[in-house]
Amino acid sequence: MARVPAALRELRPRQWTKNLAVFAPLVFARAVFVPGAALAATLTFLAFCALASGIYVVNDWVDQVQDRLHPEKKHRPIAAREIGAVGAAALVAVCWAVGGALAALAEPDVVPTVVAYLVVELAYIFWLKRYVIVDALVIATGFVLRVFAGAEAIHVPVSNWLFLCALLLALFLALAKRRHELDSLEHHAHGHRPALADYSVPLLDQMLTIVAASCIVAYALYSVAPDTVEKMGSDRMKFTVPFVVYGIFRYLYLIVRKGAGGSPERVLLSDPGTLVNLGLYLATVGWVLWGHRP
């Protein structure tokens, strides 16, 4: 029982906010009030929370030596030697068993996407994270698979716009994390993550600029696209664009001026500007989707 708090910290519940991507198809397909859809999406969300926690345990076990060089990651239970091999293996087994059961309960069609997610994440941990640029793209792929799983859970197709926006936003967050690691670890960066040796702060700043601009343009085009206007019954989605622009610019500001970026979920849960902007964005989306009926 004394190890329960360590086990809970190892599961990283704060990072479960990443799995909220599962709900994107539910919201933008206007299926929130469709019978059974919200339940299926919620079960899929919980499945990814369990599956991702298992991935975190595997990752922390593999990276425990490197994590001890990091000012924050050295406090993770495995790196701090609070959890051993048996405990880590038990956590992974329980997480993946629960996650798989929840995915099957939500919708059997979700299971192949869940398996693909695990394969991609394990390939990242044991191989792909060593390769510059590829590492960030693989992280972004994990977010896209969450969106696909959310769509499969409620039987709606993933639009091209949703795919592009999810991919670009996830890539933006992944590159921001790399910049934070490079900036905070300085000469210890290569020892913590081999791929960081091939990055530089100026290079990552250029990549972030390109991806941020692409993300804003993709979302803006989505908001006024003919199929979006037809689906929403109006062109009001364009009024959400300023909140997306502010959100991305705010995150860039926090990365460059405040040294944030290493933990997107921490920014989401603690930065007042981001929280207010997110609330206004969701309120506007609600008004666009349900404020009138075509």
Nearest Cα to 149, choosing from 123, 177, 120, 127? 120
Tokens of 263: 């933990």
Q: Are 80 and 74 in contact (CB under 8 A)?
A: yes
Query: How much is the average pLDDT of 227-234?
Result: 85
Lookup result for tokens 């293996």 = 89
Label residue 250 by pLDDT band (50, 70, 90): very high
Label residue 294 by pLDDT band (50, 70, 90): very low
CATH at 52: 1.10.357.140
222/273 same-domain check: yes
Position 275 scores a pLDDT of: 93
Domain boundary among 138, 158, 178: 158
3-state secondary structure of 68: coil
Whether residue 190 is predicted with pLDDT greater than 70 in this model: the reply is no
Split into its structural domains, the chain has a count of 2
Query: How much is the average pLDDT of 81-98?
Result: 92
Domain boundary among 135, 158, 181: 158
Q: Are 261 and 255 in contact (CB under 8 A)?
A: yes
DSSP letter for 263, please.
-
163/123 same-domain check: no
Whether residue 63 is predicted with pLDDT greater than 60 in this model: the reply is yes
3-state secondary structure of 260: coil
252/201 same-domain check: yes
- Domain span holding position 262: 159-294
Write down the mean pLDDT value for the chain: 89
108/163 same-domain check: no
Tokens of 162: 């949703």
Whether residue 227 is predicted with pLDDT greater than 90 in this model: the reply is no
96/153 same-domain check: yes
Domain boundary among 136, 158, 180: 158
151/170 same-domain check: no
Whether residue 292 is predicted with pLDDT greater than 70 in this model: the reply is no
195/153 same-domain check: no
107/153 same-domain check: yes
106/221 same-domain check: no
Label residue 158 by pLDDT band (50, 70, 90): confident
Taking only the tens place, the pLDDT of each residue in 271-290 is: 899 999 999 999 999 999 88
Dist. CA 227–CA 1, nearest whole Å: 55
Label residue 14 by pLDDT band (50, 70, 90): confident
173/118 same-domain check: no
147/211 same-domain check: no
Q: Are 147 and 166 in contact (CB under 8 A)?
A: yes
Dist. CA 129–CA 178, nearest whole Å: 11
Query: How much is the average pLDDT of 186-204?
Result: 74
166/226 same-domain check: yes
Query: How much is the average pLDDT of 237-245?
Result: 96
3-state secondary structure of 165: helix
Q: Are 153 and 23 in contact (CB under 8 A)?
A: no
